[in-house]
Structure 1
Amino acid sequence: MHIAIIGAGISGLLSALELVEQGCSISIFDQQQAAQAASWAGGGILSPMYPWRYPQAVNDLAQFAKPQYQAWNEKLKPITGIDFEIHETGMLIFDEDDFEIGINYAERHHEPMQQAECLNREQLEQINPHIHPKFKQALYFSQLANVRNPRLLQSLTQYLKQHPRVRFFEHCPIQQFQITEDRIQAIQSADGRLHRADHIVLATGAWSQHWAAQLGLEIPVQPVQGQIVLFKTPAQWLPSMCMNKVMYLIPRQDGHVLCGSSMRHVGFDTTPNPQTQQDILTACFEMVPELAQFPIVKQWAGLRPGSPTGVPYIGKVPSLNNVWMNFGHFRNGLCMGTASAQLLRQLMLGQETIVDPAAYDPKQLQPTSICA
């Protein structure tokens, strides 16, 4: 089976990985270089922020993130020489309004990875001595981890590029579908070339609304900008992730600390905003004042694929027998990525599914209005 995957971000690359491991041949298309955009720009927390604030369908996929990335890292690292750098730091949450629901979440939803304990100030200082003295309590999720997503993406890309059944077409935007009755017969790139495959997977993130007219569907996915500031501290300086009021600090093993994140509706603009940067810094220094003594080495903004509830669309397009979706993950593309790709592979190959696919079914998308 030959499958064309449009989009070489985390969703497209993981979909390719799942399918090529089952013996499929893969062509991967992207309008720019592979492994860029939101997949590269995110923080890499292997859990939704405040999982109790999300629909259960988000958490049903995200719960597999840490063990599945650990398994893929073990498989790919000997071949690519690149470690994902999964950093098991745990997470401190300071939002007191979330303490009660957070402390009971793991037991209530049978997610042992989300086990939490409430720390007093003395315990808090033992976990992370850099926290501002005004925080007297915190929820501590000891099993949460982050992955260094640029390294994850480098490893995935390198593994797939050396694979004999995978071809990459970078800087090759797909513009048109050639549709006959209930199938896409070919996809046409901007240079006019036609590319044929047995099945087509759309893993196009924030750009997915581009297909609405050709598919005759309303696709409510919009770009939502998120901005991050990167500090450099000594290695292992910040011992845990921290979160308060939807702002976070994510330490890497080598001392880099990511501070974010924001949400702005500015179309496809990825220009960092000075006021947003100041808001991020204010929130992060409120948690860890000492961070201000270290240099900012970089800042950037990426585009999340904003969907109405944050639940992605995964499955077959209703009116076409060989077109599949895997997009719309909003803020949780990385932590839902492995299970989303596994679910897609299972649906495409008629296998037993890891979760009930109904919540992600593209059948819920409405047909395009004739008047529109």
Structure 2
Amino acid sequence: MHIAIIGAGISGLMTALELIEQGCSVTIFDQQQVGKAASWAGGGILSPMYPWRYDPAVNALAKYAKPLYQTWNEKLAPQTGIDFQIHETGMLIFDEDDFDIGLNYAKQHHEPLQHAEYIQREQLEQINPFIHKKYTHALYFPHLANARNPRVLQSIQRYLKQQPQVKILEHCPIEKLNIQKQKLISVTDLSGQTHHADAFVIAAGAWSKHWEKQLNIHIPVEPIQGQMLLFKTPENWLPTMCMNKVMYLIPRMDGHIVCGSSMRQVGFNLSLDENIKNNILDACFDMVPELAHFPIVQQWAGLRPSSPNGVPFIGQAPFIENLWFNFGHFRNGLCMGAASAKLLRQLMLNQTPLENPDAYSPLRLMS
């Protein structure tokens, strides 16, 4: 079976990986460059931030993130030479209002990777000596990890390019869906060229709404800008991820520290805002004052594909038998990405799904 995938972020690339493992051939279209939009811009935490604040359907997929990416990395890294750099730092959370629910979450929801410990100042200093002295206690999640998402995307892209059954078309926006009798026959790109396939997947993140008029359905996916910045410290300087009031610090193995993030509804605008930058810096220095001694080496913004309750649309499109959706992951595109793609592959090939697919069904768009 030949499958065309519209969108080459983490959702599209992981979907391609899953399908070629099952003997399918794929063509991947992206309006810009592979893996350069929201998937590249995120922090790479392999867990939702404060999972108890999310719909259970989000956590049902996110719980697979760490083991699935570890498995894929073991397969891909020897062939691509690019390691995902899955960094098992654990995380400290300082939001006192979340202590009780966070402490009990792992047991209540049978998610051992979310195991948390309540720690006080002496233990906090042993785990991370750079935390501001005003923090006398915290929740510590020892099993949480982050992946270096640009490297994840680079490795998957290189692997896919090595496969003869994969074709990747960058700077190739798909403009028209050619539908006949409830079947998608082909798609037409901006240059007017037509592309045929047996089945099609829309995995275009924040841009997925583009096709709602042609499909005659409402697609409630909107771009929400998130702003980030990057520090460079010595290698392995900051020992843990840190979180407070939805602001986070994510240490990479080489000493880079990703800091974020904001929420801003400004359409597809990627311009940086100085006030937001200062808010992020204030939050970072509040947690780790010594970070102010190190240089900022990069700043950027990405566009999250927001959806109602952050639950993605995964499955067959309404009324069209060979069109499938995999979009709307909001803040959790990377940590849901591997399981989302696996679930979609299982649905497309009539295999047993890893989770009940009803919660993600695009039929929700009809209600």
What is residue 257 of structure 2 aligned with on the other side? 257
Counterparts of 2:237 and 2:78, CA distance in 1: 29
SS at match of 1:209: helix
SS at match of 2:308: coil
**1:172-191 CA-partner distances (Å, limit 9, x unpaired):** 00000111011011100001
Matches within 5 A, 1:147-296: 147-296=147-296
**1:254-286 CA-partner distances (Å, limit 9, x unpaired):** 000011000000000111111100000001100
SS at match of 1:87: coil
What is residue 57 of structure 1 aligned with on the other side? 57
Counterparts of 2:182 and 2:366, CA distance in 1: 17
Amino acid in the other structure paired with 1:30: D
Unpaired runs of 5+ residues, structure 1, are: 368-372
Counterparts of 2:329 and 2:116, CA distance in 1: 25
Amino acid in the other structure paired with 1:82: I
**1:222-243 CA-partner distances (Å, limit 9, x unpaired):** 0000010100000010000000
Unpaired runs of 5+ residues, structure 2, are: none
Amino acid in the other structure paired with 1:31: Q
- Per the TM alignment, residue 23 of structure 1 is displaced from its structure 2 partner at its CA by 0.2
Paired residues, what number?
367
Matches within 5 A, 1:298-309: 298-309=298-309
What is residue 8 of structure 2 aligned with on the other side? 8
What is residue 67 of structure 1 aligned with on the other side? 67
SS at match of 1:309: helix
Amino acid in the other structure paired with 1:46: L
Counterparts of 2:350 and 2:10, CA distance in 1: 23
Matches within 5 A, 1:309-348: 309-348=309-348
Counterparts of 1:206 and 1:272, CA distance in 2: 18
Amino acid in the other structure paired with 1:192: G
**1:119 and 2:119 are equivalent in the alignment:** yes
TM-score (ref. length: structure 2) = 1.00
TM-score (ref. length: structure 1) = 0.98
SS at match of 1:31: coil
Counterparts of 1:271 and 1:10, CA distance in 2: 23
- Per the TM alignment, residue 156 of structure 1 is displaced from its structure 2 partner at its CA by 0.3
Runs of 4+ in 1 over 6 A off after TM superposition: none
Counterparts of 1:152 and 1:37, CA distance in 2: 14
What is residue 370 of structure 1 aligned with on the other side? none
- Per the TM alignment, residue 43 of structure 1 is displaced from its structure 2 partner at its CA by 0.2
Counterparts of 1:144 and 1:225, CA distance in 2: 25
Counterparts of 2:158 and 2:281, CA distance in 1: 35
- Same amino acid, percent of matched pairs: 66
Counterparts of 1:269 and 1:37, CA distance in 2: 12
Counterparts of 1:300 and 1:364, CA distance in 2: 33
Counterparts of 2:306 and 2:272, CA distance in 1: 18
The alignment yields a C-alpha RMSD, in angstroms, of 0.6
SS at match of 1:23: coil
Counterparts of 1:344 and 1:270, CA distance in 2: 30
